[in-house]
Amino acid sequence: MSPKPHLIFFAEPTVLLACLLFAAYPTSRANSQETAPAKTPQEPSVNPGINRQYLQPQTNVTVWVERFEREGREIYDHRSEICDTVKVRAGAAVADIGSGTGLFTLLFAEKAGPLGTVYAVDLVSEFLGHIDQRAKEAGLKNVRTHQCTERSIELPDNSIDLAFICDVYHHFEYPQSSLASIHNALRKDGEIVMVEFKRIPGVTSDWTLNHVRAGQEVFTAEIEKAGFEKVADYDLLKDNYMIRFRKKSKP
């Protein structure tokens, strides 16, 4: 038997060229993906789980009202003096950050008057619902509840004149990110008024030492680094300090 003839196919020139190019650069696409700019990593938590107790499903607001608004708690006992020292002007837009059960939200709403706005900003939807009800019962129509995230207060840029942070800054799990969002939300020359626990080893309670991650100097430095300058501090409280900061034009 005679051998079978061999069949030879000739590719079109364009197809042959494409095959050669693919063979020469087989990993070009993969390489381009590998060299793409890396994403900026998110700020790590400075105190993981600090807000866990508030983020339980169906938070019992009554329990927190009893804890936050009770005689003997310094912030509650001196709420009127604190409110007067904050100096909320009529017509101002104020953010009560970490508003909780609304203790200061309602006081600020009375000061801001019908032409002002007070934003109750909190992580917990149950707290915000409670504040809505309290404002309605008090006839305060200038209160707006606003749910934030752990990284941002989620308010529009240039929307507020004052941010009030009372015994809440140590609950900022991502302080750089949260402060950046506050800086953006504040208008020109806007202010932060912060009330926070004194943390002095050998002086303050073990609970404070274990619960609050740093003292006044550290927290002040963090806020200044975020684009604010300290303009006043107040000798009003025993267990807490109170500081006013003003927004700089650029962080």
Distance CA 109, CA 137 (A): 13
Q: How far apart are CA 160 and CA 89, in angstroms?
A: 12
The per-residue pLDDT for range 107-165, each reduced to its tens digit, is 999 999 999 999 999 999 999 999 999 999 999 999 999 999 999 999 999 999 999 99
Report the distance separating Cα 65 and Cα 133, nearest Å.
Answer: 14
The band of 55, judged by pLDDT with boundaries at 50, 70 and 90, is confident
Give me the mean pLDDT over the 220-246 stretch: 98
Higher pLDDT, 3 or 132: 132
Instruction: Calculate helix-pair angle for 175-185, 216-225, nearest 10 degrees.
Output: 50
CATH superfamily of 72-247: Vaccinia Virus protein VP39 (3.40.50.150)
Q: Name the maximum alpha-carbon separation found in the chain.
A: 114
Min mean pLDDT across 21-30, 131-140, 185-194, 207-216 is at 21-30
Q: What confidence score (pLDDT) does residue 43 get?
A: 96
The rounded distance, in Å, linking the Cα atoms of 76 and 211 is 19
The pLDDT > 70 percentage for the chain reads 83
List strand residue ranges (DSSP E) for the chain, in order: 93-97, 117-122, 143-147, 160-166, 186-197, 228-234, 240-247
Question: What pLDDT band is residue 8 in, cutting at 50, 70 and 90?
Answer: very low
Distant-in-sequence, close-in-space partners of 18: CB < 8 Å, separation ≥ 6? none
- pLDDT reading at 24 higher than 50: no
Residue 40: which pLDDT band, with cuts at 50, 70 and 90? low
pLDDT at 58: 77
- In this prediction, residue 3 has a pLDDT band, given cuts at 50, 70 and 90, of very low
Q: List the beta bridge partners of residue 160.
A: 186
Q: What is the pTM of this model?
A: 0.83
Domain boundaries, given as residue ranges, for the chain: 72-247
Query: Residue 172 and residue 100: Cα distance in Å, rounded?
Result: 14
Average pLDDT over residues 43-54: 93
